[in-house]
Structure 1
Amino acid sequence: MVSFGERLRGERERMGLTQTQFGDLAGVTKKTQMLYENGERSPKADYLTAISGAGADIEYVLTGNRSVRGSIGSSEVSRLEDGATLVDTLAGSGQLAAVKMYDIEAAAGDGRSLEQEEVESTLYFPTDQLAAQGLDPAQVVGIKVRGDSMDGTLADGDWVLVDRSRREPKPEGVFLLLVHGERRIKRVQRVAGGAWLLISDNEHYQPEMIKPEDMKDVEILGRCEIRIGRVS
C-alpha cells in the first residue's frame, strides 16, 4: 500500500519541483518536507491548504484517489463551495479525521476535561489509517509531551495520540493519567495486592506506587498509542 509520504513525494515530482521549492509553497524547510515524505512527521492543515492552492492534488495525497483537478493533462479545476478548503471538504465527508492537539503543560488539570482546555492545533489524519490502527477517530486526541521522565519512549516536545476509549480497570502500558489533579504520561504496571506502579522510562526517575486505598486519586484518561516526534 502506497503511504501518505510516498503519495506526497509523487505529487511533488509530478509538479516538477524540488523538495526546497515544494516546501517554499507552504513556508516549510527542505528538511521538514523531507520528514513529511519519509513519513516521520505529519503536516498540519495550513500546509495542505497551501500546497492545494499551488496546484497539488490533495485528495490524491490524502486518499490515493485522483481528483479531476489533479489528473495529468486535465485543464479542469475542481470547485469548492464558498471558500471551503479541500481539507474542510474531505473532513466533512469523513475521509479525514480532525484530531485536537493539547499541550499537557498548558492544561490546567484539577479534574477538568480536555474539552474545557484550549486546543493548541488540529491535525488531520486519514480516517481509514486510524481505523487500521484500531482507533476510533472520535475517541482520539493529541497530547504534547513535556519533560524528560519518559525519555527512551517519548521525548520532550513529542506529540502522542491518545485513545480515550482505553480506560481498562487493569491497565498495562503507557497511559495518560490524572494523578492528584495533574495530568501525567506514565507506564502503568500492576503489582501484587492490587497496587499500581507508575513508571518513568527515564531511569533517573523512581517509580511511584499507587496503593489500592489511593486509587480514588488516579484516573485513566486514555492509552498512548502513536508517537509523533523528531528523529534524533
Structure 2
Amino acid sequence: MEPVNREIVRMDTIGARLRAERKRLGLSQEAFAALADASKPSQVRYENGERYPDGQFLSRIAEHGADVLYILTGEHSAASLPRSVLQNIQQSLSGPADFVPVPVYAAELAAGSGVVNLGGEEITEHLAFRQDWLKRIGVIPSKAVLARIADGELGRSMIPTIHPRDLVLINTATREIPRHHGTKAKAPIYAFTTDHGTRVKRVSVLDDTVILTSDNPEFSPELVPADQWDGANVIGEVMWWGHTNRE
C-alpha cells in the first residue's frame, strides 16, 4: 500500500474535520478524548491544528464510531478504516515501526532544591526512540517517559552531567533505590518527588539513611532518615539525558 500523502493529510484540515466528527457523535472534547485515553488539552491541540493525532488515537476513536477516513481525507466512508490502513497511517505520520513514541511531560525536574509542578502531568509531545536501543539499556518502551530539567539555579546541582533545560529519559519501571556498598562507583540517578518538590539526584541507601548526591561540587550531599524518605514518590531511574548547546 502506498504511504499516506502528506499533501493530502494536512494538520489544519484534520483539526477541523476532527472537531466536526466529534460534534456529529455528540461528545464534548473531554469525552471524545477519553475514547482514546487522551486528555482534553491534547484534543484541543488536535482540533486547533497544533498537533497530529497519532495512529493509536485514530484506531481507538474508530472503534467508537468515528469516521477516520473523513477525518484524514474529507471523504466519508461507510465504515471505519481497517487496522492495516491505520497502521500504515501511523507509520507515515509517526515514523518507522522500529521506533516508538515516548511522551514528554509538562513537568520540570529540579536538580537543586526542588520544583513542585509534576502534578500537572500533561503530555505536551512525543519523541521517537528506537525500540532496540531502549531495550538494550534495559527500558521497556511503555515504561519510558521524558521530562525537562528546570532552568537557572534549580537545575545546576547535577552539572557537569546534566544541565539546566536538558531532557531526561526516565525508566518508571525502576523505582527501588540501591544500597550503598562503599565502592567508588557512582550511585544511579533518580527522579523523585518529596515535600521539597520534584528533583533529580544520585540516590543510594546506607543503613537507615538515604543519601542524595549532586555531581556539582558546590552542592553538599543530603542525608535523609529512612522514615522521612518513606513518603517520597520515586518516579524512576534516569537512563539518558540530552543536552543542547546554547552558546
Name the TM-score class by shorter chain. Answer: 0.5 to 0.7
Q: Which amino acid aligns with 1:134?
A: G
Match of 2:128 among 124, 127, 136: 124
1:182-224 CA deviation, whole Å, 9 max, x = no partner? Answer: 2100111322x32011112111122221102212232211000
| Alignment match, 1:99 | 102
* Aligned match of 1:227: 241
Hey, what does 1:176 align to over in structure 2?
Answer: 191
Distance 1:87 1:167, change over 3 A: farther
- Does 2:200 align with 1:185? yes
Length, aligned pairs only: 149
CA contact (8 A) 1:163 1:224 kept: yes
1:169 Cα deviation after fit = 4.3
User: Which residue in 2 is equivalent to 1:134?
Assistant: 138
**Length-normalised TM-score, structure 2:** 0.52
- How many Å separate the matches in 1 of 2:171 and 2:209? 23
The amino acid that maps onto 2:171 is D
Identity, in percent, stands at 22
Distance 1:127 1:117, change over 3 A: same
CA distance in 1 between partners of 2:108 and 2:177 (Å): 26
Structure 1 residue aligned with 2:215: 201
- CA displacement at 1:105 relative to structure 2: 2.5
Aligned partner letter, 1:179: T
Structure 1 residues 178 and 106 mapped into 2: Cα distance closer, same or farther (>3 Å)?
closer
| Residues 175 and 185, structure 1, Cα contact 8 Å, conserved in 2 | yes
CA distance in 2: counterparts of 1:118 and 1:188, whole angstroms: 26
Change (3 A) 1:103 1:186: farther
Secondary structure of 1:152 counterpart = coil
Q: CA deviation at 1:170?
A: 3.0
Which letter maps to 2:121? E
Instruction: Tell me which residue corresponds to 1:86.
Output: 91
Distance across 1 between alignment mates of 2:99 and 2:171? 17
State the Cα distance separating 1:132 from its structure 2 match: 1.9
Q: Does the CA-based 8 Å contact 1:149-1:205 persist in structure 2? A: yes
Change (3 A) 1:150 1:104: farther
Q: 1:152 aligns with which of 141, 145, 160?
A: 160
* Matched letter for residue 184 of structure 1: R
How large is the RMSD of aligned CA atoms in angstroms?
3.2
Q: 3-state SS of the aligned residue for 1:230?
A: coil
Distance 1:165 1:103 in 2: 20
Structure 2 letter corresponding to 1:224: V
Distance 1:111 1:90, change over 3 A: closer
Q: Return the letter of the residue paired with 1:229.
A: H
Q: Which sections of structure 1, spanning at least 5 residues, go unmatched?
A: 1-48, 50-79
Cα 1:87/1:184, change in 2 over 3 Å:
farther
* Structure 2 unaligned regions, length at least 5: 1-51, 53-84, 180-186
Distance in 2 (CA, whole Å) between partners of 1:137 and 1:105 is 21
Q: Per-residue displacement from partner, 1:96-138 (whole Å, max 9, x unpaired)?
A: 21101124338985784xxx51223210112122112221000
2:218 matches 1:214: no
Structure 2: distance between partners of 1:157 and 1:89: 25
Distance 1:156 1:98 in 2: 24
